[in-house]
Amino acid sequence: MIEKNPSPPDSRRRPFFLSVDDGVPPLPGVNNFSPANDLAALLEGLIGASGRHIIPAPAAAPDHPSITDAFDALRVAARDFEVVPGMSLADHLWTHAAPLRSGEVASTLIRGGPPGHAIPGFLLLYAVDARSPLLYLPQRQPLRVRDSIEIAHEAAGGPFLALIRCEATADGRAQAVKACAMPIYHARRFVPVSTSLDRDVLRALEHLQVALDAHGAECAIRRELPFSGTGPTRLTLSLSLPGRTIREIRLGVTGDERPDQSAVNPPPIDFLVTSANWADGTFIRWLGKTLL
């Protein structure tokens, strides 16, 4: 669980406290917790805080993004999270695997922890595939994770954005202990996806953005939280048309004709995209009529 810091207004960081089974004694005045999905929660929090779940209108971001831009945004967002009170996540986060192998991660963790206890660190990596216990990195050796890799929406396949928890060992090294791998749209757009259909729909919507931009209209695409839920993927199109106020179109995307409806009072949607109405063109025709 990631929550707002209840401290005075001059503190901007949102704490992500360690659990009592991490080998770190409870800090005075702090209730540590141990959620089962702590890595998934932190990864969702970082993506949301960095704005990587949004594809802005071309007019608002005319340059094609790069994977470097995406990681830079995540590193900036990490400044507002804490591994323990007073210690920024940004100081314990690496976006390359090399520091783990070079000893930089181990040195930082041992140096930064209280006497006799090392504070964990985190790798945030782009992976082309994930098959526990291995993360497959582009043009690099696979990274082995000691315990497990939690793969959200495994059927969606790669690529993935993976958050890996690292700990220092007794011999002064560091090892990857646990990981959460979240499927994303592609290497330059870290938008979380649940199915391959999500990627097809996002690709079509990006083409729509370009077409609208040529007519002076702006369209931003936002992937709604939660990213790792079991219901349909929810996308919101924010349209700004010439001479009109901003309007929103809410979409659901699912490969299942009978999507999970377990959520209590799910937000309303304007159209549910399924494998069938995507394949026969019904969705594209509906979207064209709606925009006109």
pLDDT for the residue numbered 264: 53
pLDDT at 169: 86
CA distance 285 to 292: 11
pLDDT at 97: 94
State the DSSP string of 27-56. Answer: PTT------TTHHHHHHHHHHHHHTTTEE-
Is residue 56 reached through a cis peptide bond, with omega within 30 degrees of 0 on the bond before it?
A: no
Looking at residue 266, its pLDDT comes to: 67
Any idea which of 6-20, 47-61, 187-201, 233-247 has the lowest mean pLDDT?
6-20
Q: How far is CA 126 from the centre of its chain?
A: 11
Query: How far is residue 229 CA from its own chain's centroid?
Result: 13
CA dist., res. 132 & res. 153, Å (int): 14
pLDDT for the residue 36? 40
- pLDDT, residue 1, reads 35
Q: How far apart are CA 163 and CA 153, in angstroms?
A: 15
Instruction: Tell the residue number behind the tokens 């782009």, with chain if given.
Output: 126
Q: Which 3 state secondary structure label does DSSP give 158? A: coil
Closest of 125, 94, 98 to residue 109, by C-alpha: 94
Task: Look at residue 192 and give its three-state secondary structure.
Answer: strand
**Is there a contact between 105 and 94 (Cβ–Cβ < 8 Å)?**
yes
Distances (CA, A) of 225 to 76, 230, 231: 20, 12, 11
pLDDT per position as a tens digit, 152-205: 888 899 999 999 999 988 888 899 999 999 999 999 999 999 999 999 999 999
% of the chain with per-residue pLDDT over 90: 58
Kindly report, residue by residue over 258-273, the tens digit of the pLDDT: 555 555 566 789 999 9
**When comparing pLDDT for 84 and 223, which is higher?**
223
Burial of 39 (0-12, 13-18, 19+ CB in 10 A): buried
Whole-number Å distance between alpha carbons of 1 and 16: 7
pLDDT per position as a tens digit, 4-15: 343 333 334 555
Q: What is the pLDDT of residues 23-50, one digit of tens each?
A: 443 433 333 334 345 899 999 999 999 9
Residue-level pLDDT at 263: 53
Helices (H), 27-178: 38-50, 67-78, 98-102, 104-112
Would you tell me how many other CB atoms lie within 10 Å of the CB of residue 253? 27
Q: Is the pLDDT of residue 220 over 90?
A: yes
From 69-78, 109-118, 123-132, 278-287, the region with the lowest mean pLDDT: 109-118
- Please name the residues in contact with 8: beta carbons below 8 A apart, sequence gap of 6 or more: none
For residue 90, is pLDDT > 80?
Answer: yes
Q: How confident is the model at residue 100 (pLDDT cuts 50, 70, 90)?
A: very high
Residue 185 is predicted with a pLDDT of 97
Please, is 16 exposed, middle or buried when counting C-beta atoms within 10 Å of its C-beta (0-12, 13-18, 19+)? buried
CA quadruple 58, 181, 41, 109: dihedral positive or negative?
Answer: negative
For 119-123, 174-178, 245-249, which range has the lowest pLDDT when averaged over its residues? 245-249
Tokens of 172: 């002064």
Beta-sheet pairing, 134-136 with 143-144: antiparallel
CB atoms within 10 A of CB 281: 10
Identify the pLDDT of residue 136. Answer: 97
